[in-house]
Each structure stands twice: as structure tokens, then as C-alpha cells.
Amino acid sequence: MKCLRTCLPLLAAVVLALTTEFVANNWLNPRYALLLLYIALNVILVVGLNLINGFTGQFSLGHAGFMAVGAYVSAALTAFHGKAALGALVFLPAAVANGVLLNTALLGGGLAAAVVGVVVGLPTLRLRGDYLAIATLGFGEMVRIVILNLDVVGGATGFGGFPKLTTLFWALVWVWITIAAVKNLVLTVHGRALLAIREDEIAAESVGINTTFYKVSAFVVGAFFAGVAGGLFAHFLLYINPASFDFLKSVELVVMVVLGGMGSLTGSVVAAVVLTVLREYLRVLGAYRLVIYAALLVAMMLIRPTGLLGGKELSWRAIRVRWQRLFKRGAEGRGRSAAA
């Protein structure tokens, strides 16, 4: 029974991803298929950032830096070793070989971002509040400047020459992996420690919680998924440059987290969908779209300070209970009408 509960959601996610990609490739306008892919990437990024900012109560402004590390490392792996790897996988169908190569590169990029997360997190997560925000902002800019001066990956001119491996199917599979991993992490003892740190870090320390360890672990997990999202991004566009991972990208992700609700995975998904669609229609405004984001953020803080969903989650159980209540009320109403 336990295996059934575990396997059914995974099977449903795979079937949904395959169905979505089939529909997107055969009946959907390419523009909307591209929009779905960007939504998937932003969901991965925002859910990972929410683990840091929402569930742990830290304030990171350097998430685009981890995305850049993952993008460049995974792109370098396939650009320099992709042909040899595909040659070794020639006995597999092309789609399977591409999937193996893509996910190997994504894991490489994610692990590289996670290692950078440890290196950055150990010193910076001893800071709190505004000081932490400034330190992570500096990290994001440092990554961008290092890449600008790194000739092996093209420097300021950008980096290309790697194969197009990202598909909507794999993007949606990684969305499911990200949400499932973060949700299960939050429900463990480890997750309770993160929530305790968010509520009162001093009190958490006083009861024996190693706050530095738990904060760094949240930072590492968030960095890993940001690196994976960066790899998916790179292997779809086939060309990346440092400008794609600037401070504005980090701000955009923070806005999504705050808009959806700090500590709400459902809110992260909803906000990522809403703001990604909004960005598509505000593209003509360029950087001025951030004015719209800022106005949305101010309005949300005034109307609903906890975000769209606050700390609440949408679950199938809650939907089923609500539906049963509505059905019961409807049946009672019909019964009274018949009696009258």
C-alpha cells in the first residue's frame, strides 16, 4: 500500500508530462508551448528559493547566481563531451540517449551549484536580515562578473555550441521532482527545524538546533534546483550569456515567492504561473516591467501581507473534503425543498 501511494503520484506525473508535451507539439501554438516551458523553469526556481526565503526565513538575493553556475557547467559538459557521450549511447533510441545526456548534465550543473551553495552559505548564513541580503546580492554579481571574464565559456559574448536537449516533458518531470523533494523535506524533522529557525532563530539555538547547519542545508538544496533550472534553460535556448542571470532575475524570483506566500509551495506555483504569463505580455516594456512587479508587490503587501495563499497549501484531500461538504449541503437543501 505504501509503495502504491508512492508510485501512483510518480506515474501520474509522468503521464501528465507526456500528455502535455504531445499536446504542445501537435496542437498548441509554439508561442504557448514556449510559455509553458518558461513557467516550468520558474516553478523550479521559485520552489527552491521558497525553501530558503519562505520556510527557513532567510533572505537571499543571489538565486540567479546559482542558476548561472548550473547553466554554464551543464552547458560546458555537453558542449565539450556531448558528442562522445552520445556516441557511447548509440545503442539507445535517440530520445532516450538525449534524455540520459540531458539529465547527466543537469545533475552535474545542480551539484556544482550545490557545492557553490556550501562555499557561499557557510560564511554568509551567519549573517541575518539586511546583511544577508547584501551578501547574497554580492555573490550573484560576483558570479556574473567571473563569467564575463571567463574566456573558456565565451565571456561577455556568450556561450553556445551545445545540443538542444530540453523538452517540455523533462522540464515538467523536474517540476514534479522539485516540488516532491521540497514538500517531503519540509514534512521531516529536518523541515521542522527549518520552520523553528524561521519563527525564532535564538529560541531554536537554545533548544539545541544547529542553525548554521540547517540554514546551509536549505541553501544547498535551493541552489541545486536553481542549477538544474539553469541547465534546462541553457539546453533549450542553445546560447547563454551573463546578462540572462543579472540582479533583475533574482528580484523577479523574490517577487514570485513573496506574491505567492512565504512558505507555501502552492503559492509559489501560482505566482510563477501568473508572473510568467504577465511577463510575456509586458515584454514590450523591457526592464520597465519591474515597475509593474513593484506595484503588484506593494499592492499585495497592503491587501494581503502574507501573499496569495499565505502559508496554506492546496491538496487533493482538502479539495475532496470541500467537495464533499458542498455536495452534502446541496443534498440537504434538496431534502428540505422536497419536505416542504
Spatial distance between the Cα atoms of 51 and 47, rounded to a whole number of angstroms: 7
pLDDT band at 10 (very low <50, low <70, confident <90, very high): low
Lowest mean pLDDT among 18-22, 70-74, 158-162: 18-22
Spatial distance between the Cα atoms of 287 and 216, rounded to a whole number of angstroms: 32
Spatial distance between the Cα atoms of 278 and 259, rounded to a whole number of angstroms: 13
Number of CB atoms found within 10 A of residue 257's CB:
28
Spatial distance between the Cα atoms of 72 and 68, rounded to a whole number of angstroms: 6
Label residues 56-71 b or e (16+ Cβ within 10 Å = b). bbbbbbbbbbbbbbbb
Number of CB atoms found within 10 A of residue 256's CB:
28
Beta-bridged to residue 159, according to DSSP, are 240
Contact between 227 and 66 (Cβ < 8 Å) = yes
pLDDT for the residue numbered 317 = 64
DSSP letter for each residue of 211-231: HHHHHHHHHHHHHHHHHHHHH
Number of CB atoms found within 10 A of residue 126's CB:
14
Contact between 50 and 257 (Cβ < 8 Å) = yes
pLDDT for the residue numbered 4 = 47
pLDDT digits (tens, 9 = 90+) for 31-70: 777 888 999 999 999 999 999 998 988 888 989 999 999 9
Nearest to 171 by CA among 86, 44, 268: 44
Rounded to two decimals, what is the model's pTM? 0.86
pLDDT for the residue numbered 218 = 93
